């Protein structure tokens, strides 16, 4: 079975707001059978450049589920908080 993955490259600006945002995202994922694979903090850049300190990877059943989640009213309502909390680049991948 193939999956699609959402990768977030994150630079936190406000820890309190980032924690609040992170606590609200899981409820928005449930309708799409999405699963948090991992969150992590950058240890070292071994090749190239990566300006972000954090990463998050979320697995979805397919790309359509990622797109539906992202455009859902539940997630869209969190974007202002996310923008106050961190600089985030979200990229989708198909496996």
pLDDT reported for residue 94: 95
Residue 26, pLDDT > 80, answer: yes
Which sequence spans correspond to the domains of the chain? 4-94
Q: Is 72 helix (H, G, I), strand (E, B) or coil?
A: coil
Rounded distance between C-alpha atoms, residue 70 and residue 64, angstroms: 10
Model confidence at 90, in pLDDT bands (50, 70, 90)? very high
Residue 39, pLDDT > 80, answer: yes
Residue 1, pLDDT > 90, answer: no
As a whole number of angstroms, the longest Cα–Cα distance in the chain is 38
pLDDT reported for residue 38: 96
CATH of domain 4-94: 3.30.70.100
Q: Are 10 and 87 in contact (CB under 8 A)?
A: yes
């Amino acid at each position: 079975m193939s999956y699609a993955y959402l990768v977030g490259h994150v630079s936190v600006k406000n820890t309190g707001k980032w924690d609040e945002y992170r606590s609200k995202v899981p409820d928005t994922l449930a309708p799409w059978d999405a699963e948090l694979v991992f969150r992590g903090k950058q240890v070292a850049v071994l090749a190239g450049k990566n300006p972000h300190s954090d990463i998050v990877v979320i697995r979805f059943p397919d790309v359509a589920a990622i797109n539906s989640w992202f455009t859902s009213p539940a997630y869209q309502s969190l974007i202002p908080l996310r923008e106050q909390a961190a600089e985030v680049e979200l990229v989708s991948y198909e496996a």
